[in-house]
Amino acid sequence: FCCALGGAIAEPKVINATEPLLLDAVQGKEVERPPVWLMRQAGRYMKAAKENWYSVRCKGIQLEDFVSHSYQILCEKHPSFRERSENVDLVVEISLQPWKVFRPDGVILFSDILTPLSGMNIPFDIVKGKGPIIFDPLGTAADVDQVREFVPEESVPYVGEALTILRKEVNNEAAVLGFVGAPFTLASYVVEGGSSKHFTKIKKLAFSQPKVLHALLQKFATSMAKYIRYQADKGAQAVQIFDSWATELSPADFEEFSLPYLKQIVDSVKQTHPNLPLILYASGSGGLLERLPLTGVDVVSLDWTVDMAEGRRRLGTDVAVQGNVDPGVLFGSKEFITSRINDTVRKAGRRKHILNLGHGIIVGTPEENVAHFFEVAKSIRY
Ligand code: CP3
């Protein structure tokens, strides 16, 4: 058990020439086990309190190290989400917390899909207990005109610096993952003014002034393609596109307001970065599965409302598949967690599978169950 957790990381001395397992799996190469990481693995479930250390302790991790790897302690010192996600040292430290403790095969940048907004002239904040807040929600053609195209080098240099450092630290023992928000999901935040239940404002715009929404979606598509390229140039080895709210759209409306922009982003990135794997996640995507590979992405990340074997069939053989384990499973018994992992791996088949949850890890998930998840996942042999 302890060995599976890996112990303390050594300073990287030589650049590891072997490709990370996750990239091999995406390319359809034969791998000995599925790579594994967790969405939202960097974040609030990581208490790293003393009692948690007792459950994941192992040779090489000292209690003091473990406690300093606490996201919650960092939050006390740096209560502003924007500070935590826009300061290079904090971004690197938080991104590496799960890497140091669980050794996942993917290390995702600690950031947010909304991070580019201030560089696009859309002021925002993420407030504890309230979530994302857009101070001046967009609703008119004049508002959309005010949106600036994103220049990552100027607006978010800390993202590039953090990715470059992460790449060196992780040293190809795992893949460094970047991410962006998809145009429709970003548009839903900036039009609704924050999180939403019924998405009435963006639907009002879509269904009464579609041209205005299309103009906004186009700005996001151009900007996010640039942002993906920037992340890849600075060190990201794969980039996940989150279209969390696309499934609020009916399939026909998805085809008008989301799919073309996703496809445009993928086409544009592939022109300059043909080998950069792109992963698409849309929660609640069961009704849209056949349409998702039409975007051209390399990997589709499934939620848990679809059976893995059926999902595979519906997605076709070209695309790799990720996710599908209900995040709630991590609240179950260890035996239950093990059996769900085995079930998912069996149904996904031996090639092109990345083991992951069907959505982000839930705050309050026992860390010892997260440790168990990684331990079982990493001991799998096909
Ligand atoms: O996966 C990771 O560990 C990387 C970090 C990451 C965050 N946000 C950090 C974060 C990622 C990949 C995201 C993506 C993101 N952000 C999405 C897409 C994924 C999904 O869940 O569908 C969305 C929709 C957002 C927008 C957003 N940011 C929401 C809805 C919230 C939660 C608000 C709340 O307080 O519950 C945030 C804030 C946020 N982003 C947190 C974290 C860890 C929590 C706030 C905190 O830690 O202080």
Q: How many CB atoms lie within 10 A of CB 375?
A: 20
Ligand 1 neighbour 108 (Cβ under 6 A):
yes
Distance of alpha carbon 233 from alpha carbon 227, whole angstroms = 10
The pLDDT assigned to 4 comes to 39
The model's pTM = 0.92
For residue 238, what are the β-bridge partners? Answer: 177
Specify the residue with its C-alpha closest to ligand 1, atom 40: 112
The pLDDT assigned to 366 comes to 87
Mean pLDDT by 10 residues, the chain (382 residues): 41 69 97 97 70 54 60 84 95 90 94 97 95 97 98 98 97 98 98 96 98 98 98 98 96 98 98 98 95 98 97 96 98 98 97 97 90 95 96
The pLDDT assigned to 57 comes to 56
Ligand 1 pocket: which of 38, 40, 110 to mutate (most atoms within 8 A of CB): 40
The pLDDT assigned to 72 comes to 79
Distance 88 CA to ligand 1 centre (A): 18
Query: Residue 355 to residues 9, 74, 276, 307, 366: CA-CA distances in angstroms?
Result: 23, 28, 19, 14, 19
**CATH match of 21-41+100-379 with 3.20.20.210:** yes
Q: Is 299 helix (H, G, I), strand (E, B) or coil?
A: strand
Contact of 322 with 283, CB cutoff 8 Å: no
The interface predicted TM-score of the complex, written ipTM, equals 0.92
Ligand 1 neighbour 220 (Cβ under 6 A):
no
Residue carrying structure tokens 């399939």: 251
The pLDDT assigned to 8 comes to 45
Distance 9 CA to ligand 1 centre (A): 27
Ligand 1 pocket: which of 93, 113, 199 to mutate (most atoms within 8 A of CB): 113
DSSP secondary structure letter of residue 287: G
The pLDDT assigned to 368 comes to 86
Distance of alpha carbon 327 from alpha carbon 364, whole angstroms = 11
Q: Indicate the Cα dihedral angle 226, 227, 229, 231, nearest 10°.
A: 160
